[in-house]
Every structure is written in structure tokens, then in C-alpha cells.
Structure 1
């Protein structure tokens, strides 16, 4: 923990030093020009401000570059160090001072660009309330946000910002969630509706039950992104280092060739000055940080910035089943009654009882009874021992909801009365100890699943889609047919999932999408692991990317953000390098002096950074697929 703290403290200190160096360089270069053109001072006096820049500014920068060389970090910024040393040796002090200004000023420019790219997140951080109104009985007290506990009752007054993630238990109104979801709509809120921290309440007060601690809320997760995006820059330079691997030796070769051909070492210096690779050093990190900001605004948390670089290169997409291609919410799809004429009667009775159950299937039965507009019955003597089913008295009748296995263990003679077992889940219902019905459930495929899978190849160059699940074969194949995936693996343990992902990633870069604890190993093994972050902290910790809104559209948005980031970053880097190479050729031919080359490079730097900043501006649309008519 101490090392992390020290690292965080060291970075701002060095950034502040470079900003001071840049300011000092500007002041001394200005003084030099005044002495040179505005007075008749001796050459030694005229050069004195430049010596100060090279000594007080150049030495710390060159020393930092030497330390990188000792660590075998041969980055493209090595060219700047060569330029500073060469200018001092050739007594081209103004050119050397301009390179010091470029290198130190580039860092200051990057810091400014990062602040601009993260401006939306910073605005969010300033909006969050520091207190919450906790309600206990009839009293409401203001407490610090971090004192809120799960299940606390919180009042959100009109026009206030919601301080915590939770569920509405009293009140009806609307909330503006556009800061968090990007959708410009007022979202209706009634008892049972989920609310997000950071949303702005409407005209009506709402009473909510806290479901997460403040540190685990949606708002807190977005704030973590802002902090992480400012401390992970070394990881974000891999693309720059790949480009710099050929750019640096090319620049040195052009400079050496110009020196040898003309016998003039100043030509070498001019080439090195023009070659200073600020588009690589600044443009690419700015593009990545801007993309992290844009993703966070779309409820997509990028935990590992390298995933933005890699996602567009992936050619295999592997899905877990439950909660990714399905909603993770079983639906009652079949009601098979011993006496079918009693279907509505039994559904009303069972639905009334299941209102008091926390079993995953209970909500599906309650929803079916509600859709059928069946009036609830009076319920008493509820009993639900863990793993033993649900019992209760509904309107004077004994009702039991149990499993096929438990029923046949007690009453094997009922085997012939039960329907054949189908894929998915089921429960058996007894009324007054007499078999009454079998209810069958399926986890509903996502409405947009088929069109999403279909568009992956043409739009994102995904050559292979797979489904890997721990569920039974019948359930997995049923879903695969619904969404159009042919390559399926079923009844897979976490270890088997891991083996499959490792094997596929060895063939081609892969993306794995999951949402359960058992998906964590596979998420870590894939080139890019994407987690739907509603269910498990373990899963989100293992993932490179966390989608806070469980939606296939968010995966599509992330893929587009990744592609757009690579395109704009490469535009800034390669465009800047191309212009620099043209400048190097002119310098090698003697058309650019070292000073003119430094000014030329500054213009290229500004253009590259301004282009990179475009990435934080949201395009009109980041989704390029639509659910088919059959999916509506």
C-alpha cells in the first residue's frame, strides 16, 4: 500500500517540475531574444539565459531519460535527449532550449489535455452530495455519506442528487439519469424501481432502501475510473512504443546520413529537433484517457486501458450464458395442470403465496399472476425451510411448492402423473396434498441477442462466436438456437471454461463476456474480459471492462469506442510522424535550421493533441445493430 501511495505522490511532483521547467524555458528564451535583438550585449551575456535553460532544465530531463535507458526503456522520447545533448555540444543553445521547452511543455500540454478529456468526470465528482437524509421511523437525520449502511432507509428530496444506489419503497416521481447513462430521458420511479447514485430527483420526494455502500455505488465506480486514468499512463504507451520502435532508428538514420553527406553536424541536430516525437508521447495517451472518459459516461468502466487498444483486434467472442445472452431472470413459460380448467385458479393461489418467497422462481410466478390480473388471496402460516420448498395456507387450502425430485421421494406413485421433464427449471405444486400442476421456466433470451450476434462478423470482424456455460445441454442449445450461435459447450466447470478460453486465445485474440463468480478465471485469461457488473465483486475485479448496465448494446458501444480510439490515436501519431518525417527531410537538405525545426515541431504537436482530444466528444451514435422485427 505504501508503494502505491508513493507512486501517486511522485507523479504529480515530477509533473510540477516539468511545468516549472517549461515556464522557466519560456522566460529565458524570451530574455535571450530581447538581449539579442533589442540590445548590443556581448554574445556571452546573450547566451547566458539559454545556458540556464540547458543546465537547470535540460540536465534534469536528460537525467530522467538516462535512467530510463538503464532500465532498458528505450522509448521514442530518447530522440529529445539526443537533441538536447547535441545542441549543447554544437553550441546551438537556442535550438537546445526549444527542445527542452518542447519536452517539458509537452508534459504540461498533456496534463491540460487529460483534464479536458476528463472534464465530464470531474464535473460529476463535484456534484456528489456529502450527506444523506437517513430516515428512522418518523425522524430524518443528516449523516455523512460513508456512514450509510445497506438496508438503511434514505429520503431523497425534490431536485436533490441521489446519494446511494437503492430501490424505491415509497413515492412516485421521475429522475434524471443522463449524467450516468447518457440517455436524455426522465426515468419514472415507483416502489420497486432501482435508483442510481448521482441521478437528479424530480418534483416528488422518494424514500429508498440502500442496496450498496457508498464506496460500491455506481457513482463511486465512475470516480475510480477518473483516478485510475491519471495514474496508469505507462501502460497506455504500448501503441506508442510499437510505432517508436521503427520511428526512432529512422530519425537517427536520416540525421546521421545528413551529417555524413554534408559534413555538417548541425544538419544532424536539425533533424533530431524536428524528429522529437511529441505526437507519440502525448497524442496516444490523450486519446486513451479521453476514451476512458467517454466510456464512463456510457456506464462502461475501463479498468485496464490496454483493453481499449486490444478489443478491436479480437476475432473470437466467447459468452457465458446466464445473465449475458439472457436476462438472468427466469420466466414462467408453461403451466401444465392435472385439471387444465383450474389453471387460473391455481396460478392465483400460488402467485399469492410466492409473494412472500425469496426463491429465484417466485418473482416469475408473481409476474405471471399479475399479468393475468388475478386478485391476491389471503395467506397465512408460511413456511420456507432452506432447500425444502414453500408451504402455506392460502384461502384455507394447504399449498406446497416443491421439486420433482422431492415429491417423488415422498410419493413415487405420482411419477405417471407428472409431465416429461423439459429443459430449464421447474416446480411442482400440491393443493391439499394432491398433485395440481407443474410449472416450467426458462431464462429469457435478450431481445436483441440474435441481431447482436449476427452483426459481429460484418461490423466488428469477429470470426467466431461461442457460448460456454455450466448449464444443462438442453438449456444451452435452446438459447444458442434463439440467438444464432452454433459453437456451444455445456456443463462446463470454471476450470473447463478456463481451458477453453486459453485454447481459443492461443489461436486468436479473444473477448470473454460473463457475469458470475465462476467466470472470473475465464475473464482473466481472455485478451479482453468484459463483465456485467451487477452481481459479483469477484467478477468485476477479474475483468478488464465492467458494463454497469447489463446490456449487449453497451458491449457494442465499447467495441466502437475501442475502434474509434485506435483510429484517432493512429491519426494523431502517424499523421504527426509523417509531418515530422517531411520536416526531417527538409532539415537534412538544409531548408530548416535547428530553431526553425523546433518551431515546426511545436506546430505539429499542437495539431496532434487537438486531434486526439476529439475522442472524448461523443459521436451521434455508437450502436450499429437493431433488434429484428421478430425480437420486438
Structure 2
């Protein structure tokens, strides 16, 4: 009862219209039919005037709306004495907001679910017990209790022996994941049937789920540019409706025909169907592990012609591991590895840890450098035992060792070059495996109309071209700085352009692309903030899925619009011959609105996802067999 009262207050124009209608019925029963006519007519004209003022203000802002049809329909029905039809048109007009709210609520289920699940409390371990505190007060290093079936409040490390976690809210995968002591755990996932302790590694604001919530909140508040989509049809639909009504009046000589046509031309299909479809598409994307920040992104995705990928962490797993040394005489492999590992102690490069670990595994000594400096994006220079050791890209090393030469590498490998005392000492090899579904993702993108692909990377040219050739990418730009990537994307003529990246250095180019997609599963916050869409799982195939969702959403929005227009036009033509009375026409138009909105809600896409998941699995299996066959 309270909920009904709340809805009545929220949608007071609808409540008032219904109240006027009930009053009219009671007056008619009491024999006051003339009063009913004046009541309905006066109220309808008051609403028309209210709508007309808003319409004039919009026109002064040079915004053409569809309100002119509704206002004209109300006025014309009152003028010709069809006051019941006038009230029904008013009910449809005022009820549009309530109908849209209902449809949006259905369409936003996944977005709302993510927001409502955000944990509010954490159980802090204190003096042999636990104390509840707001999640916002958790600090790094705090030990927290997570009870059975509770949501993990912050990112952390599992302290208990083991647990099973439901990560479906983050990854979209329903199968529980087993975790053991020492494993990293993410906020937002649901604990299993055993209470466990975790140590917080991030505050709530910096944790994975809170970042997702922030993205979802932004997406939920955004307004899709579907007004443009509807406005493409608004002017011709309005002109057609007015002309048809005028012709019917002129041919028949009966002004009632004009009103009968106009009540069937009310614009709810255009005003509601497209926004509902786009909100449904955003919700569907969230269910598939992709947060789309606005409906306009879906529109761009649907029309994309080119996709550009970063390499490391995007097309590859991003965790290259040391695989061998190719030393040049007079240097030995152990000597080169020992000196390189010593130098890499002063580097922040992703390979540094694996080289240091490889040296330690072989029992090689690590030396302190007399001085060391890192050249951003190029390598490291250090002095060890009086000799200059240079480690990094080929061009960088060649500046210090003129005799340097490139080494041959296989697909998925990269080479780090070394100069010792101004002499070329060889190269260290590392492998960064290409994602198993990268090739099938590119194939799916091509079938979806994204036929141009490109790879931009800061890695060496040999590595980049090896990976590109394995995946079928024909356009490659290697050894790029962030500014180079922006320039390359700006120069692409086949637009819209999708850019997919994962690191902080990708943030500028993600912002510069028509659609920037961040692989945000590993917490690439800067990239996520710059992107238009964020993939919440470490799965590149979601890029193709996002494009598919964009195409489906725009298709369903257009289908819904055309469905509403087509039915309305057919009914208007019939009404032009005097075969649909104004009151019946107004009731029929309510059914048209309902059918249009139900059609738009298909964008939520449960059935579409099930069909697509089956197709993805089949294509992935085929692609895996092809790759496996090429390596045997």
C-alpha cells in the first residue's frame, strides 16, 4: 500500500488524470453528462497548454520535439467534441513517464544489482574478537572476517586455509573458484560456506568492486544520445501525420477525421522505445562483464570499422617469463645473466623480476651497482665492477655498442639486448604467450563488420610482427611512445575506431579513440577512467561481445521504432477513412506503445546471450584446433 502511495506521488500527473477520469465517471452516473464534457475538455486543454509551453521553450533552444503531435491531438479532439479521446491522449502522454520508468527499471536490472550489492560493513579483527565498522574505514593491513555467503568488502589476501568464492558478479562465470591461503581475493565476490579471514591490501575506494560500482553509477546516470536516433524520424513522422490528417479532413469535409488520425500519431514509440533499448543494452553488457559508460558507446560500437590493440596484457597475457640467454663471445651465458639480473634490481620493468629469479635459481651472484639509471621505455644503464652494463631495446643498446645485431625470435617471444663495457654481449629471451582466444576474437570482429585491425605497442619490432602474423593483424606500429599511439589512431580513416588497452600508458590513446575499451580486470585504474567501456574480466573475447551487444542494441532500437511507426501509420490510414473512432484510436495507441516497449526490452538479451555463448564456444574450439595444428 505504501509503495502504491509512493508511486502515486511520484507520478502525480498520471494520478491526477486518473482522478479526473474517475470523477467524470461518477458525474456521468449521477446524470451530469454536460459537466463531464467540460471537466474533461478543460483538463485536457490545461495539459495541452502545459505541454505547449515546454514545446515552445524547446523550439527556442532549437530542439524539435514530438510534443506537437500530442498537443495537436488533444486540442483537435476537444474542438470536435471527442472529450473522452482527449482524456485518453492525456493519460497516454502523462503515463509515458511512468511507462518509461517501469521499462527502464526492467532494462537496468543488472546495473542496479551491481550497485545494490556494494558491501557496507566489514568485520575487523580486534583483541580476539571482531568489531563491525563501515567499509570506508578499512585500512590496508587490517584483518577482516568474512562470514559464509557474505560479500568480500575489500581486495585482500586470504589468510584462512581455503575457501570457495562465487565471482559471477565480477567475471560473469557461475562456477565457484577455489582459493587457498596466500591467494589474492577481490572485493565484490561472494564467500562460500565457511567463514574466513583476509588481510586488506586496498582500501574500499581503491578496491576492484568499488571501482566497478563507480563505473556503473556513471553508466546508470548517463543519458544515451538516442534522442538523435529518434529525431531522425521525428520530423518526417510529424509532417506525414499532419498532412494525412489534413487530407482526410479535406476529402471527407469532416474535421473529426483530423482528430481521429492524430490520436493514432502520438509519439511514444519514438520517445520511449529507443532509450529503453539502449538502457537494456547497457544492462546486458554489465551482465557480460563489460561496463559501458553511456548509450552513445553502444551506438559507436555498432558502427565500428577498425579495432586497434595494444599488445602486452591485451593480445598477450602480459606476464612474460625468462626463457633463455644467447650470449656472444667472449661473454658466457651465466656472466650475462648475472650482470643483467644485477642491473635489473634497479628497474621497474615487468621482466626484471623474472630475470632476477632466473639468476637466483642458477645460483648466480647479484652485484650492487656503483650507479644506475633507468631510461624510460628504453632500458637501464648501470656501472657494475667498473664496467658499463646496458640492458634494453635494440636501438637503445646499439647506441652504446655499435657491433650489436638483432637476434632471431619465435612467435610470442621478445628479446632484451645487452651491452657490457661498450661491447655487444648478447640477448635474453622471454616469452609472453598470446591469448588462446585472441585469434578467434579477431575473426569474430571481422564477421561483425570490424574488418580493419591494427596493433600498437612499445615492444620491439620483431616481437610485434611475430605476434601480429600469428593473429592475422596486417597493420603494426612497434616501439611506440604513448604520444605515437595517439597520433596513429588519429590518422586512421576507417572510423569509428575501437582502441583496446590495459595499462596506464594506454590512457591517452583510449581517450583519443572513438571507443576506448580498457581491460580493467587487473586494476588499470587510469586506463579505466579514460575508457568508454571497461572489461571486468581478463578475457579479450569480451571485446567482440561488446560489439555484438552494440549491434544488437541499435538493431532492436530501430526495429522498435519502426514497429511503432509502422503500426501507427497503418492505423492512421484506416482512421483517415473514418473506420476508427477517436476514442477507440486512443485505446489502440496505448496498445501500440506497449508493444513497442516490449519489443525494446528485448535488448536486455537473455536469449541472445545464450545463443551467442553457444556460438562463442564452438568458434573457440575451432580456433584452438587450428592454432594447435599450426604448432605441431
Q: TM-score, normalised by structure 2?
A: 0.82
- Pair 1:413–1:145, CA change in 2 (3 A): closer
Report the Cα offset of residue 99 of structure 1: 1.4
CA distance in 2, matches of 1:175, 1:218: 15
CA distance in 1, matches of 2:369, 2:56: 74
| Equivalent in the alignment of 1:612 | 600
1:439 aligns with 2:416: no
- Pair 1:493–1:358, CA change in 2 (3 A): closer
1:293 aligns with 2:283: yes
| Equivalent in the alignment of 2:71 | 81
| Equivalent in the alignment of 1:7 | none
Report the Cα offset of residue 91 of structure 1: 3.9
CA distance in 2, matches of 1:405, 1:380: 18
Q: Which residue of the other structure, out of 536, 542, 547, is the alignment partner of 1:554?
A: 542
| Equivalent in the alignment of 1:479 | 467
Q: 1:16-165 maps to which residues of 2 (within 5 A)?
A: 19-36=11-28, 38-43=29-34, 45-51=35-41, 53-54=43-44, 57-135=47-125, 140-165=130-155
Report the Cα offset of residue 276 of structure 1: 0.7
Contact 1:32 1:50 survives alignment (8 Å): yes
Contact 1:402 1:427 survives alignment (8 Å): no
SS of 1:323 mapped into structure 2? helix
CA distance in 2, matches of 1:329, 1:401: 28
| Equivalent in the alignment of 2:271 | 281
1:538 aligns with 2:526: yes
Q: 1:378-417 maps to which residues of 2 (within 5 A)?
A: 387=373, 403-404=390-391
Q: Which residue of the other structure, out of 262, 272, 282, is the alignment partner of 2:252?
A: 262
Contact 1:580 1:601 survives alignment (8 Å): yes
SS of 2:205 mapped into structure 1? helix
Deviations 1:124-158 (A, max 9, x none): 44433311234579775432111223454444333
Report the Cα offset of residue 381 of structure 1: 9.7
Contact 1:153 1:210 survives alignment (8 Å): yes
Query: Number of residues paired by the alignment?
Result: 594
1:523 aligns with 2:510: yes
Contact 1:152 1:210 survives alignment (8 Å): yes
CA distance in 2, matches of 1:46, 1:628: 73
| Equivalent in the alignment of 2:313 | 323
Contact 2:172 2:288 survives alignment (8 Å): yes
What is the Cα-based RMSD across aligned positions, in Å?
4.1
CA distance in 2, matches of 1:385, 1:276: 77
SS of 1:260 mapped into structure 2? helix
SS of 1:445 mapped into structure 2? coil
Report the Cα offset of residue 599 of structure 1: 0.5
CA distance in 2, matches of 1:143, 1:115: 32
CA distance in 1, matches of 2:226, 2:185: 34
Q: Which residue of the other structure, out of 593, 611, 622, is the alignment partner of 2:581?
A: 593
Q: Specify every segment of 5 or more residues in structure 2 that has no aligned partner in the other structure, as ranges.
A: 1-6, 375-379
- Pair 1:568–1:367, CA change in 2 (3 A): farther
445-454 or 415-424: bigger deviation: 415-424
- Pair 1:16–1:401, CA change in 2 (3 A): farther
CA distance in 2, matches of 1:254, 1:225: 47
Report the Cα offset of residue 237 of structure 1: 2.5
| Equivalent in the alignment of 1:582 | 570
CA distance in 2, matches of 1:290, 1:514: 26
CA distance in 1, matches of 2:388, 2:132: 45
Contact 2:468 2:474 survives alignment (8 Å): yes
Contact 1:314 1:510 survives alignment (8 Å): yes
Q: Which residue of the other structure, out of 551, 554, 558, is the alignment partner of 1:566?
A: 554
| Equivalent in the alignment of 1:4 | none
- Pair 1:365–1:518, CA change in 2 (3 A): closer
SS of 1:560 mapped into structure 2? helix
| Equivalent in the alignment of 2:230 | 240
Report the Cα offset of residue 472 of structure 1: 2.7
| Equivalent in the alignment of 2:624 | 628
Q: Which residue of the other structure, out of 132, 153, 175, is the alignment partner of 1:185?
A: 175
CA distance in 1, matches of 2:324, 2:597: 59
1:306 aligns with 2:296: yes
| Equivalent in the alignment of 1:455 | 444
Contact 2:342 2:367 survives alignment (8 Å): no
Contact 1:169 1:209 survives alignment (8 Å): yes
| Equivalent in the alignment of 1:196 | 186
- Pair 1:597–1:42, CA change in 2 (3 A): closer
CA distance in 1, matches of 2:132, 2:370: 38
559-568 or 609-618: bigger deviation: 609-618
CA distance in 2, matches of 1:306, 1:227: 16
